[in-house]
Amino acid sequence: MTQTPQTTPTSTEGTGRATSGRVPTRRAVVNRAPWILVSPFLILFLLTFVLPIVVAIGQSFTTVTRAGLFGEEGVTSRFAWFENYRLVLADGNFVDSIWRMLLFGIVQVPVMIVAATLLALLLESASARWPGVFRATYFMPYGIPGVIATILWSFLYVPGLSPIIDVSEALFGYTPDFLGAGTVLWSIANIVTWTYTGYNMLIIVAQLKAIPSELYEAARVDGAGPWRTAVSIQLPLIRPALVLTTVFSIIGTLQLFAEPQLLQTVSPAIDSQYTPNLSAYTTAFAYNDYNLAAAQSVLIALVAFVLSFAFLKLTNRSSR
């Protein structure tokens, strides 16, 4: 760091005392201070975010060959261009798992965001009784880890244990199969919705509360009812919160792991490549192929990034 002319408020003090003779030390202190403050975070960020990503990208372009039956004659690695990516994309199961997550996301994310928005609007309407109690109840599942939420719901899905199946049989004579090949994806969607709807609702409520009351007053003067107020005032103004929650939900969908991994023990329909993350985990720890797993991890992050970026672009354009 050389002494460059500063253009921000921090420099006013230094230049103001340019004649006092204390300037160099004082300015040096001001120059050093931000680095002292930011470096602990920065070093850890580089170690736990940047370095792993660099390592993963490097590994995804490397192939390891073992000479001899168990690699006892030496292990050689070489740069393999896109060989790992080609292998990953040629693996029908992995590609299927990405499509499965897209289907999951196209259904589950809108359902959850719409439900969260409706609940937020209802709670913020004057027609709701005890909004504080309901708000706390809806938010509660967010504090329950995905693993424990899945254990809870799996008890409600498993035949013999599930009171829901018992009740359905007694009332309608129908035995629902929550864990079959066609239904288990939506049983997982239910767990995810259960966990995160209240959390998204709280973000939307926070933004609803930030709407100035004059706007409501103006709407009332214009004779707008609650429906009209919601559509013309509340929904446009909570847009940033809706975009934010949707982007985080898209990223979350592609990371789905704990729910399917746990339900594997009770549902034969879930294989070890059911979701992209489950695939990467299996490749790394069951097959010990870290290079292929790295390529899978990079692809998952890339797809998440592209989708969030596309969504942000789309919402930006339609707002103009």
Candidate ranges 94-102, 104-112, 177-185, 295-303; the one touching other proteins (CB under 8 A):
295-303
Q: State in angstroms the smallest separation of the CB of 93 from other proteins.
A: 18
Q: State in angstroms the smallest separation of the CB of 301 from other proteins.
A: 4
69, 227, 236, 318: which one contacts other proteins (CB under 8 A)? Answer: 227
68, 74, 182, 212: which one contacts other proteins (CB under 8 A)? Answer: 212
Please tell me whether residue 104 binds other proteins under the rule CB under 8 A.
no
148, 181, 310, 314: which one contacts other proteins (CB under 8 A)? Answer: 148
Phi-psi region at 130: left, alpha or beta (left = phi > 0; alpha = psi -120 to 50): left
CA distance 207 to 214: 16
Window 50-89: contact mask with other proteins (x via CB under 8 A): xxxx-xx--x------------------------------
15, 22, 24, 37: which one contacts other proteins (CB under 8 A)? Answer: 37
Candidate ranges 72-80, 82-90, 174-182, 197-205; the one touching other proteins (CB under 8 A):
197-205
Q: Are 260 and 281 in contact (CB under 8 A)?
A: no
Name the amino acid, one letter, at 87. Answer: L
Candidate ranges 40-48, 69-77, 97-105, 178-186; the one touching other proteins (CB under 8 A):
40-48
